Amino acid sequence: MRQYINWKTYLVIIAMLIVTASIYFTNQLAHKLADEEKKKVEQVVEAIKTSTKSANGQEVNLATSIVSQNTTIPLIITNEKGDILDFNNIDTSQARKNVKKFIASKLEEFEGMHPPIISDFGSGKSYIYYGESYLLIELRYFPYVQLATVFLFLMVVLIALSSAHRSLQNQVWVGLSKETAHQLGTPLSSIEAWMEMLREENNNSETVTELQKDIDRLKLVADRFSKVGSIPKLEEEDVVKRLKDMVDYMQKRSPQKVNISLKSSANEINVNISGSLFDWVIENLVRNALDALAGQGKIEVDISDHVQQVWIDISDTGKGIPKHQLKKIFNPGFTTKKRGWGLGLSLSKRIIEKYHHGSLFVKQSEVGKGTTFRIILRR
């Protein structure tokens, strides 16, 4: 369970506990207020009854005072036939012209809220229906308003914290990339000088030729790292040719039992890309696929040409990715390997989405059967 629980989960749980406790105590308070209002209505009914029957002036004055004090609870009085005899504390300004119809609708509303109080005012039985005061209505809705407020506040906090966290991560990885490029620059310059000396002594040596290839490769790596964090210049290139070169390059450096193939829906597909950074992404994805194959299997690069987009699927027949790891694989520092910093997929996603304005995601993955990554590039 620990892999599904983090500080955000605890924050949400605490917020839900606070809201739940608030709703519970507010509902308890609303029930108490509803009971008080019922008692108040019963007192008003008795006061009306007293004022209609009593001949004692003091009792009539007391009853009138009790009735006049009720300025919050809406009341509707009907006879046994259901005809409306009187009403009190109902705002008829909403009724427009048809007040009678408006009061009838309020009567239906009150009938569904509370059972009527039955009383005899001397002219037969009367039924007193009552609603809820504005205070009680507001109190009942308060928990939901509070829930919405807490939810909104929680969302803002989580988005702000996540944004700040991503920004900090980006700054760290960009700084690390540029520092790596800078550190590689000094020994490369020195090695270049030594290579010139070796070339003068052994001009046609195969060793010198291969060493130069490795140096060129290191220069390319340094160039890639230096471009992370800055906006690269995109140029129109044929991605089919670019991918074919990468497939050939990676095939020569793969185990003999691994087959890397390329399939394309067109012979030439031109897209605006940064060549060196795009190659880095493909190399990262293919290397991850090679690690998943463990020495044998297939890797297929499939290019699909669409009207507004180009899809590049890189599939392998390796061990696959467990479902609980799918959301984490692009996080900086996340890795399942014994060695490595866990930056490959994170930087690859950044290169495709931020610099090329495309998208990189796991199209599908099944444990024991393999994984497919999809790159989408815009026209």
User: Which domains are seen in the chain, by residue range?
Assistant: 2-131 (no CATH), 149-230 (1.10.287), 232-378 (3.30.565.10)
Q: At what angle do helices 134-201 and 7-53 cross, to 10 degrees?
A: 170
Q: pTM to 2 decimals?
A: 0.52
Q: What letter would DSSP give residue 232?
A: P
β-sheet bridge partners, residue 340? none
- Pairing between β-strand 258-264 and β-strand 297-305 as defined by DSSP bridges: parallel
Radius of gyration of the chain (CA): 39
CA distances from 208 to 189, 194, 201, 202, 298 (A): 16, 11, 10, 7, 34
166's enclosing H/E stretch is: helix 134-201
Per-residue pLDDT of the chain in tens (379 residues, 90 and over written 9):
454 456 667 777 887 888 788 778 888 888 888 888 788 777 777 776 666 655 555 545 544 555 566 677 888 888 877 888 778 887 777 666 778 888 888 888 888 888 888 877 666 677 888 888 777 777 777 877 877 887 888 788 878 877 777 777 667 767 777 777 777 777 888 888 888 888 777 766 777 777 887 788 788 777 777 766 667 789 999 999 999 999 988 898 888 899 999 999 899 999 999 888 899 899 999 999 998 898 899 999 999 999 899 999 999 999 999 888 888 888 876 676 666 566 788 889 988 998 899 999 999 999 989 999 999 999 8
β-sheet bridge partners, residue 365? 371
3 state DSSP class of 59: helix
CA–CA–CA angle 188, 191, 192 (5° rounding): 85
Produce one character per residue of 100-114: b if its CB has 16 or more CB atoms within 10 Å, e if not.
Answer: eebbeebbeebeeeb
Give the up-direction half-sphere exposure of residue 44: CA atoms within 13 A in the CB hemisphere: 25
Q: Distance between CA atoms of 272 and 228, rounded to whole angstroms?
A: 18
